[in-house]
Amino acid sequence: MKDSNRPSKNALYYYVAGIIIILIINTIITPMFFKPHVQEVTYTNFLKMVDEGKASKVEINQNRIALLCKDSDGKENIYVTGRVDDPELVNRLVKANVEFSQVVPREESPIAKFFNNWIFPFLLFIVIGQLIMRFLGPKLGGGGNMMSFGKSNAKVYIEAQTGKTFKDVAGQDEAKEALQEIVSFLHNPAKYNDIGATMPKGVLLVGPPGTGKTLLAKAVAGEAKVPFFSISGSEFIEMFVGMGAARVRDLFKQAQEKAPCIVFIDEIDAIGKKRDNGSFGSNDEREQTLNQLLSEMDGFDGSKGVIILAATNRPEVLDKALLRPGRFDRRVPVELPDLQGREAILKVHSHDVRMSPNVDFHTIALATSGASGAELANIVNEAALRAVRMGRREVIQEDLEESVEVVIAGAQRKGAVISPEEKKIIAYHEIGHALVAARQTESAPVHKITIIPRTSGALGYTMQVDTQEKVLMTKEELFNKIVTLTGGRSAEEVVFSKVTSGASNDIEQATKLARAMITRFGMTDEFDMVALETVNNAYLSGDTSLACAPETAARIDSAVFEVVKEAHEEARRILMSNREKLDELAAYLLKKETITGDEFMAILNGRDPEGPVTVDAEVVASEDAGQSAPQAG
């Protein structure tokens, strides 16, 4: 629809060229053909021609006189002359028997005048405006045609087009269960109406980005085999005030005609924000749109089978009126997938990818704690791309592991130039983390250590992977995590007696954790179980805001400082008492650049790391050797 409204560039060129040609014809060519031959003569000559009887017709204008005159060769010519105040002229003309007339200055009719002065310029304006809008409209964003006031651009997806079913959504069993009821209602509304049950009109899907909210909505439509109207919240907010409201009206009108059907409003927070924030940039347009949405939701009859799904990752900003019973009263959380969910999502997305039969999705799922469905889908695709790059015909475990790292830490920066001295510091730093982690009891096992820099800016990293999914963290585990985070810097101090900027990310994370332990998890005696900070938007950045007196804030700061300092000292103590292992491991890492958890543990336990290694580790090691060659050269 949008496309057909937009004139192609070619049409515009033809338009302009046409106008130019018409102008040329009008101003130059037409006069050449139609202007009669006019000659100017003096008044004396004019009188002479009249007297000689040559003139056949005279027209007297306000200040000119024209005469039609037969020349000796029989051709008719027109002569003009200036009008002279000559009272004798009329008598002369009568005497010479010339037909003459005075041209009365033409009075324009009032209607024509009105047309000329008012309507015509106005029309001209509209035409020019249209042309400009057509030309610039697509560039001004919105993509829509400004003249299509209130025409909803709601796209209609019929079942064949969404093509999604619950099978495409892995994990999210609770969400699917909650939505299953809606599917069954859409299949057979009568069953519910008979007993007197009413379906909720609106269902709100809430959760972090990339967890499959949009996908679920499509799957509901696909399962129910009903039309699917989908519009994004931001699409309602248009250039003109009132447009958004008109669109809402339009959308609901269309939907009711097509019932049973699903209306899906993605990113509803764009219009559904709280109205009372009284800030300066308060947006009238948005409020009108929201009001229209509220009244439409009240207005339509839910038993007909129109179900409104909406998705957001900022439920806390939504207007209360939107959430009250009768509107979006049902809320379906779509959380980040758990271990099983991640494994299932990986499997769903590898369905169309040729996978080596011994790929272990469980390990990958373990290593991707906290990843969303979208990220997991991306990991599988990256792995497939890597397999092609490597000239393989199927995806193997190593591809998946590498693409996990690409998604988490960015691609390898093969061209990065790092001096041997710095490389050494980085190696000690990473081994510091790993060694501290390994020497503590409540700590996840080391999975991989690398000092190949990444595009995210990481110069190296230590990957720890838990053997099982953790839902709770004890105070000890959290503290140990902080100790591990300080381990990198501690190794630099212990070995080189100097510190570098490389620990900035560790410091940030350690501080955040320590602060959370105190302000949100109630893990200090001093503040007991008092919430000192609240999380603002749990699904996005996870920002917090402090909710305490300034004096308390100062005490929190010193408590955070103490926790981190204690952890730092603990890390140094561990490293100093394991100094030999630290040197040995760092030297090995420096040589290999990437080592596995197995190799790490072997050295730590005094075994030969090169001995009975797994097949995977061998591949990783040899590949890294290849990559380090260009850096050396």
The only residue of 213, 286, 314, 327 in contact with ligand ADP, by rule CB under 6 A: 213
212 part of the interface to ligand ADP, by CB under 6 A: yes
Site string for Mg ion, 207-236 (x = CB under 5 A): -------x----------------------
User: Smallest distance from the beta carbon of 461 to Zn ion, in angstroms?
Assistant: 7
Tell me how long the chain is: 633
- Rounded-to-integer distance, Cα 194 and Cα 17, Å: 67
- For 89, the enclosing helix (H) or strand (E) is helix 89-95
**Which one of Mg ion, ligand ADP, Zn ion, none interacts with residue 322, CB within 5 to 8 A by kind?**
none
Q: Are 251 and 235 in contact (CB under 8 A)?
A: no
For ligand ADP, which is the closer residue by CB, 344 or 387?
344
**Out of 311, 427, 495, 567, the residue judged to bind ligand ADP by CB under 6 A:** 311
Q: Which of 206, 188, 205 is nearest to 197 (CA)?
A: 188
Sign for the CA dihedral angle at 393, 397, 400, 402 comes to negative
- Tell me the C-alpha to C-alpha distance, in Å, between residue 565 and each of 28, 193, 223, 344, 574: 91, 65, 56, 42, 14
The least distance separating ligand ADP from the CB of residue 212, rounded to whole angstroms, comes to: 3
Amino acid at 343: E
**CB 432 within 8 Å of CB 582:** yes
299 lies in the binding site for ligand ADP (CB under 6 A): no
Among 81, 211, 464, 486, contact with ligand ADP (rule: CB under 6 A): 211
Q: Is 49 a residue that touches ligand ADP (CB under 6 A)?
A: no
Do 167 and 231 contact (CB within 8 A), yes or no?
no
Compute the distance between CA of residue 572 and CA of residue 582 in angstroms, rounded to an integer: 12
Does position 375 interact with Zn ion (CB under 5 A)? The reply is no
The one-letter amino acid code at 344 reads A
Q: Does 315 bind ligand ADP (CB under 6 A)?
A: no
Question: How many chain residues bind Mg ion (CB under 5 A)?
Answer: 1
Burial label for 16, CB within 10 Å (0-12, 13-18, 19+), is: exposed
From the list Zn ion, Mg ion, ligand ADP, none, which binds 171 (C-beta under 5 to 8 Å, kind-based)? Answer: ligand ADP
Q: Which amino acid is at 496?
A: F
Amino acid of residue 601 = M
Task: Give the residue closest to ligand ADP by C-beta.
Answer: 373
Single out the residue of 145, 172, 312, 412 in contact with ligand ADP (rule: CB under 6 A): 172
| Catalytic choice (430, 492, 493, 599) | 430
Among 374, 370, 375, 376, which residue's Cα sits nearest to residue 343?
376
Q: Give least dist CB 548 to ligand ADP, A.
A: 34
Is residue 405 a contact residue for Zn ion (CB under 5 A)?
no
Q: Which is nearer to Mg ion, 214 or 412 (CB)?
A: 214
From the list Mg ion, Zn ion, ligand ADP, none, pick the one residue 506 interacts with, judged by a Cβ distance below 5 to 8 Å according to partner type: Zn ion
Confirm whether 430 is a catalytic residue: yes
Q: What is the 3-state secondary structure (H, E, C) of 120-177?
A: HHHHHHHHHHHHHHHHHHHHHCCCCCCCCCCCCCCEEECHHHHCCCHHHCCCCHHHHH
Decide if 315 contacts 190 (C-beta within 8 A): no
Nearer to ligand ADP, 172 or 519 (CB): 172
- Of 595, 273, 592, which Cα lies nearest the Cα of 433? 595
Classify 104 as helix, strand or coil. coil
Does position 345 interact with ligand ADP (CB under 6 A)? The reply is yes
Pick 399 or 506: Cβ nearer Zn ion: 506
Q: How far is the CB of 478 from Mg ion (least distance, A)?
A: 32
- Interaction of residue 507 with ligand ADP, rule CB under 6 A: no
Minimum CB separation of residue 171 from ligand ADP in Å reads 5
**Dist CA 413 CA 593 (whole Å):** 13
Alpha-carbon separation of residue 58 from 53, 92, 289, 380 (angstroms): 12, 12, 72, 95
Q: Which of residues 493-532 bind Zn ion (CB under 5 A)?
A: 506
- Contact call for residue 312 and Mg ion (CB under 5 A): no
Side-chain-side CA neighbours of 617 within 13 Å: the count stands at 17
> Does 152 interact with Mg ion (rule: CB under 5 A)?
no
Residue 518 within binding range of ligand ADP, rule CB under 6 A: no
Q: Which of residues 365-384 bind ligand ADP (CB under 6 A)?
A: 373-374, 377
Name which of Zn ion, ligand ADP, Mg ion, none residue 210 binds, using a CB cut-off of 5 to 8 Å depending on partner kind: ligand ADP
Selected binder of ligand ADP within 49, 69, 98, 170 (CB under 6 A): 170
Binding region for Zn ion (CB under 5 A): 488, 506
Could you list the active site residues?
Answer: 430
Binding region for ligand ADP (CB under 6 A): 169-172, 209-215, 311, 345, 348, 373-374, 377
